[in-house]
Structure 1
């Protein structure tokens, strides 16, 4: 049974200062740390750069036993783990790109209970060898942390179906441990609208979670949406925007976001041909290439990167002065995450989003992209509904995945529609119900379009979308494009 090891406030602050060098916590870091040390569930929504990682790292280091951190991207894991390992702390990571010797070393450290924090992806967590080690009765597990929890909503239905199985992890782990074992579960994210918050709580099966929500409003961040009437106009507007920050001796850091790997490569090549020092960054690059680009951007060798959403999570660069969305994100949570990478130092920063003209006659690119996504999602939902008749009422995810194309994705979609429950992270049962709801993502696209076309204060719209209605009530920020008109 877990013994509650809650250090005194003086001990907590002393450890905080000795590890990170800070005198005191920012609100609500101290409260979150106390909550996790008391083995209670939590949902934490704090803006980018708000110090979320310290809130689960410090409790893990103050207790004996292991804290599992489920993280979506290799780059994000590596950045956080490297920082802690430099401080000689008992932290490790597991992911598919590790060399075999390093994987063996980490699994051995896990067996010997030498770790306090273990970072891994949902897929690695549920891989047979790792799961077997985690289920050992003598391995003490204190907490399961879901970092960047918005990815559960953003990717869990189709792209990363393992996310949908995480709700069964705690219950199954507890069965393998001594009676009375408590494992707390906490979800951390910078952005989650009201619907996303509901989905995160339901999927993870959070038990009476303490909810910490910080207002995402950033008075130094100036959002603007501009219509590009033609593809050439989109290019020229981007060039004009970049020139304001990157010319001659002025090399102010920024990011250009696109939606696909191909877009990233083609646009970065075009900008290089225009004389700019930049690089393409996406999930298809190998680990060494990604690390190299990140390092050059952090030290200013490359002033800006043309990237997909794979770039930025967990990378802390306070002096980013601008973010450009060459293509608008599909979800508002993505948008707020990505513009939030600018102006972390509190100084003025600008965020430009380029969109096609509303009819789509002169530049159909945005409409085609959304149509492709929506049609693919609807096709997958239809496949899920057909597959219900073909698979056993109770079964095992790997057996379904072997027998049917995209079988794992279909099970995930059935779970999101309320037609399936996970008995453990590997076994499912189909439920008898009439639910046939659309994916959360399909509903969210409409909200993003409303934001892009709104005439009201952009920050007011965002605060309402994320559930901060009271703070939005009389807001007119004065520094978004709509207010400045």
Structure 2
């Protein structure tokens, strides 16, 4: 490192100590921060609890312009922005639930270059009032961060189509800025297999990105699956596991709102301090549950998949999945919320026996996901035949009920290009030979459930860490050490 480089690194570390109180970075935080300060694109896969927020927050605070942080959930944005505001740092967020006065003040702060970090969803980023402010020539934008980038792969095709337009944001913004302006893009996630990494890089238009790829392996995290023979047996095994954990803090993940409420009522009747958490709650209710859990007023939360993203609670000792998640990336994200303090933690997933004769719910759910995906892609292809060769996204969305999703599907299949974030151009014959994308939404998770070898070996191989997987025999999963898990 040159003398000037060493001086710069000392300045960065001094800011780290001043804001967060840490003496130095954990690998690879320092290298990521340096990369973003150099204005380079980056793709970062760091395990849950790896300290990724500091990696983009610190460079943003050390620069004079604005860094956009595109985030999937209001709860995640609110948690991170509140932590920054508690430190009196120039950060804000925008979403549809904000008070009109707060929204107006934030838009004015953008125009006057008073912010360093602006958190917003893909949909809010592409809304006219926000986009118009960001395109003003005097608004300096240094970079764009895609936080929880795996959501682009999981949701971008059929659930949140705005994700598919994010690659057109940088070139469109640069047209409105002074010559020589650079806007770096960095994608952060805890879980992305090689195919997902390629999708993220392609959709975002990353330019020779520097890659930081770290395996999800956690030597303190014990993994287990147990067969639930009937719905009643599933509940009994869940509460036996919770009881075995004493009064320690944990999470129970479920697939539906109804399951979260039903199990929370049963747990409460058994004397546990617990709450149900799902998308049907108001923002105030969700924040109250998060605070209650973080402050240990609640021992555990029975929640759907949204809970936990960005919630910083290091002392979670266990995670239970009442049903297996649909995606392996979801599973790794969710079990990774246990043991972030480095101490021993356990993760249990309950699954139906393989035939599904006694408890067919898991099998029905997997088949339903596959069927829905096929139907959506089929409808989108049919709908696209009515689209003009080029046009405006909003016009298509107004004219056709599933128009925005159909455009997203076409982009996924190579049948469409974005002229800018708001206009498309069909590619003649593009994607005509492609069906549903090769990514199997449920197949990898189903194989994991049936795996008889080391569970961490399977996970490392699935996420592209072949060499580590080849020598893995973890000694802390139910297949490597069955007696430990049979005792609870």
TM bracket (short chain): over 0.9
The superposition leaves residues 70-111 of structure 1 with CA deviations (integer Å, 9 ceiling, x where unpaired) of 001111111111111111111111011111111011111111
What is the CA-CA distance between 1:388 and the residue it aligns to?
A: 2.0
What is the CA-CA distance between 1:389 and the residue it aligns to?
A: 1.2
What is the CA-CA distance between 1:6 and the residue it aligns to?
A: 11
Q: Which residue of the partner structure matches residue 373 of structure 1?
A: 369
- Is residue 370–residue 441 contact of structure 2 (8 Å, CA) maintained in 1? no
Cα distance, 1:373–1:301 mapped onto 2, change above 3 Å: same
What is the CA-CA distance between 1:203 and the residue it aligns to?
A: 0.7
> In 2, distance between residues paired with 1:6 and 1:358?
58
How is 1:34-49 mapped onto 2 (pairs within 5 angstroms)?
34-49=34-49
> In 2, distance between residues paired with 1:204 and 1:112?
28
> In 1, distance between residues paired with 2:134 and 2:302?
39
What is the CA-CA distance between 1:440 and the residue it aligns to?
A: 5.4
Matching of residue 457 in structure 1 with residue 428 in structure 2: no
* Structure 1 gaps, min length 5: none
What is the CA-CA distance between 1:220 and the residue it aligns to?
A: 0.7
How is 1:19-98 mapped onto 2 (pairs within 5 angstroms)?
19-98=19-98
SS of the residue 1:8 aligns to? helix
What is the CA-CA distance between 1:118 and the residue it aligns to?
A: 0.4
* Structure 2 gaps, min length 5: 483-488
Q: Which residue of the partner structure matches residue 295 of structure 1?
A: 291
TM-score (norm 1): 0.96
What is the CA-CA distance between 1:283 and the residue it aligns to?
A: 2.0
What is the CA-CA distance between 1:372 and the residue it aligns to?
A: 1.6
- Is residue 264–residue 281 contact of structure 1 (8 Å, CA) maintained in 2? yes
Matching of residue 420 in structure 1 with residue 416 in structure 2: yes
What is the CA-CA distance between 1:179 and the residue it aligns to?
A: 1.6
Correspondence for 1:405 among 398, 401, 405: 401
> In 2, distance between residues paired with 1:80 and 1:239?
33
SS of the residue 2:319 aligns to? strand
Q: Which residue of the partner structure matches residue 355 of structure 2?
A: 359
What is the CA-CA distance between 1:271 and the residue it aligns to?
A: 2.0
The superposition leaves residues 274-308 of structure 1 with CA deviations (integer Å, 9 ceiling, x where unpaired) of 33221111122111101110111011111000001
Q: Which residue of the partner structure matches residue 128 of structure 1?
A: 128
Matching of residue 483 in structure 1 with residue 469 in structure 2: no
Moved over 3 A (4+): none
- Is residue 380–residue 402 contact of structure 2 (8 Å, CA) maintained in 1? no
> In 2, distance between residues paired with 1:31 and 1:154?
28
> In 1, distance between residues paired with 2:167 and 2:435?
20
The superposition leaves residues 450-477 of structure 1 with CA deviations (integer Å, 9 ceiling, x where unpaired) of 1111001000000001111111111100
Please identify, of 276-285 and 97-106, the stretch whose mean Cα deviation from structure 2 is larger. Answer: 276-285
Q: Which residue of the partner structure matches residue 117 of structure 2?
A: 117
> In 2, distance between residues paired with 1:33 and 1:471?
26
What is the CA-CA distance between 1:206 and the residue it aligns to?
A: 0.5
CA RMSD in angstroms, aligned pairs only: 1.3
Matching of residue 348 in structure 1 with residue 344 in structure 2: yes
> In 2, distance between residues paired with 1:6 and 1:155?
42
TM-score (norm 2): 0.96
Correspondence for 1:436 among 434, 437, 442: 434
Q: Which residue of the partner structure matches residue 102 of structure 1?
A: 102
> In 2, distance between residues paired with 1:410 and 1:275?
48
The superposition leaves residues 123-172 of structure 1 with CA deviations (integer Å, 9 ceiling, x where unpaired) of 10000000000011111100000000011111111111111110110111
> In 2, distance between residues paired with 1:423 and 1:264?
43
